[in-house]
Amino acid sequence: MTRFWFPATTGLILFATVLSAQPPVPTPSASPVDPASEPTVLAVAKVMPAVVNINAERVVRRQVRDPFEDFAAQFFGNYRSEPREVRQRLQSLGSGFIVDPAGYIVTNEHVVQRAADLKIEVTTSDGKVYNARYITGDPKKDLAFIKIEGKTGFPFINLDNLSPNLLGQTVIVVGNAVGYGSSISRGVLSGMKRDVTIENFDYKNLLQTDAAINPGNSGGPVVDISGRLVGVSSAKMAFTPQGVPTQGVGFAIPAETVREVVAEFKKVAEQQRAQPQQRQADLNQPPAGRTDRLFGMQLQDLTPELTDALGLVRGRGVLISAVEPGSPADEAGIERGLVIYRVGRHNVNSVKALEDWLSRAQSGSQVDFVVGIARSDGPRQFQTVSLTAR
């Protein structure tokens, strides 16, 4: 019988080899990744001091008649007293961001659109409140320029170093969502060069994102995880034009467009600084609409809610909210409450569209307006009225 003999040291070597072949026992990690080092957190900390909440209050003057007179006229004739002027205060909440240490701020035009006695209050992320004044705006691009009064040295977002805007990149929306200041949401850049129409306003060449854009975010910045500007929050599509609900479809004005427009805005600001101080108030007054100035009619968009309340056909016409006494419209018998459906050969369904069709009209021009009432469940009456611009 053959016997095998191994030295004692060999047994120790074999035992050590077996032990070393076993998988290593994991050791608990010293600590998880620090949230303070996350790229999103760092980006927000970088841009937040330059983001502001905007509370704008404007006074709109309208000429109205006593509703009782409309009721009484059905029984006592067509007598109408002179309309009276009412002042209506309208408030809007939005966001913006500082683009210059002197306190110049970019926001949406629809947040701070010009009106008589416009008051703008700006709150920074540290809770300080400042008064601001309207410098200028571009309604077609929905961008406006305002300035904090009497102070400099503000943190700002640099428009010289913009995001590359790559599809799929992470984007962060910062602003005053539903009135909650310093709110953020995160998503990706979903699309580019989008043309959309939301609430009768045409937007061109927008960016699309699935980051949540809520009321109050309008005018706030959209940035990448390096804190570079991607765009300006502008609109959220809740429903398609066919009425189908959407989810995660928001839009922003591209940063390149913002940089180009701000360069033009700064030229206007320079011109205003060169103007005599007494003329500054005149520069801030809004020009009257062409329909008001030339024909004496104040107009209002027919929102779905207003259309339903008046029992009108949806998606057609603009409402005549006031008629100036002695104006061409008044002399032609046009009254408040009628609807303009057509100007010349063009159907209209928004005040902006109507004003665009009248862009070439001037004093002495004759324009045909189709006015009347188109009830959703009743008779429809229309009349063509030729008005000569004053």
Query: What residues does each domain of the chain span?
Result: 170-260, 290-388
Ranking 64-68, 320-324, 385-389 by mean pLDDT, the lowest is 64-68
Q: What is the mean pLDDT of residues 282-311?
A: 75
pLDDT at position 19: 45
**Catalytic annotation, pick one of 218, 233, 234, 327:** 218
pLDDT at position 237: 66
| Cβ(269)–Cβ(104) below 8 Å | yes
Confidence of residue 48 (pLDDT cuts 50, 70, 90): very high
Active-site residue flag, 218: yes
**Above pLDDT 90, what percent of the chain?**
40
**Catalytic annotation, pick one of 142, 224, 292, 301:** 142
Q: Is the pLDDT of residue 73 over 70?
A: no
Q: Is the pLDDT of residue 5 over 50?
A: no
Active-site residue flag, 126: no
Q: What is the mean pLDDT of residues 62-82?
A: 50
Question: Considering only CA atoms, which of 118, 114, 126 is closest in space to residue 289?
Answer: 114
pLDDT at position 12: 42
Beta bridge partners of 149: none
Confidence of residue 44 (pLDDT cuts 50, 70, 90): very high
Q: What is the mean pLDDT of residues 64-76?
A: 50
Q: What is the mean pLDDT of residues 218-242?
A: 86
| Cβ(127)–Cβ(55) below 8 Å | no
pLDDT at position 24: 60
Beta strand extents in 125-220 (DSSP E only): 129-138, 143-148, 170-177, 180-198, 201-209
| H or E segment to which residue 98 belongs | strand 84-100
| Cβ(371)–Cβ(382) below 8 Å | yes
Question: Considering only CA atoms, which of 235, 247, 142, 248 is closest in space to residue 185?
Answer: 248
| Cβ(105)–Cβ(145) below 8 Å | yes
Q: What is the mean pLDDT of residues 72-76?
A: 48
Ranking 55-59, 342-346, 356-360, 364-368 by mean pLDDT, the lowest is 55-59
Q: Is the pLDDT of residue 60 over 70?
A: no
Question: Considering only CA atoms, which of 177, 162, 119 is closest in space to residue 262?
Answer: 162
CATH tag, 290-388: 2.30.42.10
How many residues make up the chain in this entry?
A: 390
**Catalytic annotation, pick one of 110, 190, 234, 301:** 110
pLDDT at position 285: 40
List of residues 6+ apart from 191 with CB closer than 8 A = 167, 207, 208
pLDDT at position 258: 97
For residue 2, give both structure tokens.
């053959």
pLDDT at position 288: 54
Ranking 147-161, 189-203, 224-238, 249-263 by mean pLDDT, the lowest is 189-203
Architecture of 170-260 per CATH? Beta Barrel (2.40)
Question: Considering only CA atoms, which of 328, 319, 326 is closest in space to residue 351?
Answer: 319
Confidence of residue 26 (pLDDT cuts 50, 70, 90): low
Confidence of residue 380 (pLDDT cuts 50, 70, 90): confident
**Between 15 and 253, residue with greater pLDDT:** 253
Confidence of residue 70 (pLDDT cuts 50, 70, 90): low
Q: Is the pLDDT of residue 15 over 60?
A: no
C-alpha distances out from residue 158 to 35, 126, 163, 186, 230, Å: 26, 20, 11, 21, 11
Average pLDDT taken over every residue of the chain: 81
